[in-house]
Each structure stands twice: as C-alpha cells, then as structure tokens.
C-alpha cells in the first residue's frame, strides 16, 4: 500500500500548538489509511495504521524538534525494556531535558472496526525543569474520526460541576473490570462504555463523562498527552492511590490512573482504596 501524507503546513513555534499540529497531521493520515485499506483485514489495518502514524510522528519530530528525545509506543523494544529484561532504557531519553511521549494510535481495535470513533493519537512533551509533578508541559489528543483535537495550547473550559444528576464513569466497552462496577455502585455512578484510554479521558475533559478509572496496566504513552490536557483544564489526575503520575521514568509502565472532576477525586479515591490492592509506583526515576 502506498499511503500519501497529507499536505504539509508550517509547524507552529510553541510546543503546545506544535503538539496539536502534529497529532492532527497523524490523525488525518490515519483516516487516509482507514479509507484506503478498508476493514476487511483488521490485523493488516492495525499494522498499517501504527506504522504510518509512527513514521510520520518520528519524521516530524526529527525535523522540527531534533534536539529532543522521543518515547513512542512503536519504538523497537519500547515494552521489552522491562517486561523481558532484554534491553535497558535509552540513556539518551533518560538524560534528556525534553522528551516527547507519543502514542501513534491509541485504540487499534476501535481503529480497525467500521464506524467507531473512539480511537486517538497522543502527543505530549515532558520537560525536566517543569514546575508540575508530572512535568508534562504540552500535549494534544487528536480524535480524528470525531474531527477534533484537544490540546494544552487552548484547553477547553472545564465542564460545569456535577449537581443533582448521576455521575458518569467511563468504562471498557467490552469487559469492564469488576472493581469498576463495585466503585460505580458505591459512588452512585453509571458506567458509560467506550474504547481507547485517550477517548475516555477526552470524554472527561469535554464533560461527556465525569471520571475515568484504570487499573489494568498501561504505559506512559497511554496517558501522557490526555493527562497533560486534563490537568490544563483543571481536572484531577493521579494514580489510584492518590500519588502523582510520573513520566519519563526508566520503566515506562504506568499501570493505573484516575482522571476526574476535582470534586469527585476524594470519594473516588476512597472507594478505590476499599476495592483494590494498590500497585506500588515504579522505583526508578529519570530525574
């Protein structure tokens, strides 16, 4: 297959605008891949989408942010660093002052299914001297099939406070974990099934749901960009034990998180403590 890149526009100077520009370009490319390949071979479509988006992100980051390091889900050995012990973390990344953390295609399953719109592209920037605990200074979530991109450059306004209605909790559309159902029952929430992590956190940001809780295992690229945008809008984001989310660690696993409206953080974290055995944070930090 020969997938043509979308026409190239000038790259913005600011990191926040650049993140949105880059995520949007990758998203438009993924729409083209989807249209050209169709859905008759889901596995081939997933591979083609992952590869095309990763190559575009890598090429544009090398062109416009060549001094920065990159952590991408599709980098060779990105997961094997820790799950098999066959490779160590990149010294370049761990020593860098600025690291782009990207997920070229979040929600490959949804991407491969006709008419699904809950898949995303994540682009985030971690900076060593940032004042926040997570050190994410820019980020964007492209939702190509929804024709929108959410970013830190112009974050959307925080949705109105929950009052007098049932709390909505984003959950896996196929197999929501038992603890999510238990937590929802305790806080009086209804489950709203949907696909990728990026789509779920984007739904919290836009007010379509009120919270997203995950404890089934993730990596930094699954949440960096969505967390950057969520916290830029004033939402709560932490690990499920209430501790800070930390990025650009030697171990890129970041297995759990909760993103929610600020007024829901205390009751959700309390319910999580009662229904889960909490997983300790990775021990090694980059700086």
The annotation status of 73 as a binding-site residue, yes or no, is: yes
Interatomic CA distance for residues 212 and 209, integer angstroms: 8
Interatomic CA distance for residues 73 and 197, integer angstroms: 14
DSSP conformational letter for 87: S
Ramachandran sector of residue 269 (left: φ over 0; alpha: ψ -120 to 50; beta: rest): alpha
Copy the structure tokens of residue 126: 């971690």
| Chain-centroid distance, C-alpha 89 | 21
The annotation status of 41 as a binding-site residue, yes or no, is: no
DSSP conformational letter for 249: -
Copy the structure tokens of residue 65: 């942010």
The annotation status of 75 as a binding-site residue, yes or no, is: no
| Strand arrangement, sheet containing 189-194 | 189-194, 167-172, 211-214, 257-260, 236-238
Copy the structure tokens of residue 15: 């990191």
Ramachandran sector of residue 19 (left: φ over 0; alpha: ψ -120 to 50; beta: rest): alpha
CA atoms within 13 A on the CB side of 125: 24
Using alpha carbons only, give the angle 37, 42, 48 rounded to the nearest 5 degrees.
55
Numbered residues of the known binding site: 73, 103, 105-106, 222
Numbered residues of the known binding site for Mg(2+): 73, 103, 105-106, 222
């Amino acid at each position: 297959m020969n997938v043509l890149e979308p026409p190239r526009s000038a790259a913005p100077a600011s990191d926040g605008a650049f993140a949105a520009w880059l995520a949007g370009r990758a998203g438009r490319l993924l729409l083209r891949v989807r249209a050209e390949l169709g859905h008759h071979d889901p596995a081939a479509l997933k591979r083609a989408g992952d590869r095309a988006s990763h190559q575009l992100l890598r090429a544009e980051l090398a062109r416009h942010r060549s001094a920065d390091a990159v952590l991408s889900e599709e980098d060779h050995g990105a997961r094997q660093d820790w799950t098999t012990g066959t490779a160590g973390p990149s010294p370049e990344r761990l020593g860098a002052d600025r690291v782009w953390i990207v997920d070229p295609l979040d929600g490959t399953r949804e991407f491969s299914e006709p008419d699904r719109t809950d898949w995303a592209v994540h682009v985030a920037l971690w900076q060593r001297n940032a004042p926040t605990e997570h050190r994410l200074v820019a980020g964007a979530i492209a939702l190509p099939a929804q024709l929108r991109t959410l970013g830190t450059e112009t974050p959307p306004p925080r949705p109105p406070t929950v009052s007098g209605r049932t709390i909505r909790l984003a959950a896996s559309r196929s197999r929501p974990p038992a603890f999510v159902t238990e937590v929802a029952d305790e806080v009086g929430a209804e489950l709203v099934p949907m696909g990728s992590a990026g789509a779920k956190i984007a739904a919290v940001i836009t007010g379509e749901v009120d919270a997203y809780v995950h404890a089934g295992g993730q990596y930094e690229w699954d949440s960096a960009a969505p967390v950057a945008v969520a916290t830029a809008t004033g939402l709560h984001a932490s690990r499920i034990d209430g501790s800070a989310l930390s990025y650009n660690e030697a171990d890129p696993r970041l297995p759990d998180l909760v993103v929610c409206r600020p007024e829901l953080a205390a009751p959700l974290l309390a319910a999580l403590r009662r229904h889960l055995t909490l997983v300790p944070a990775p021990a090694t930090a980059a700086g």
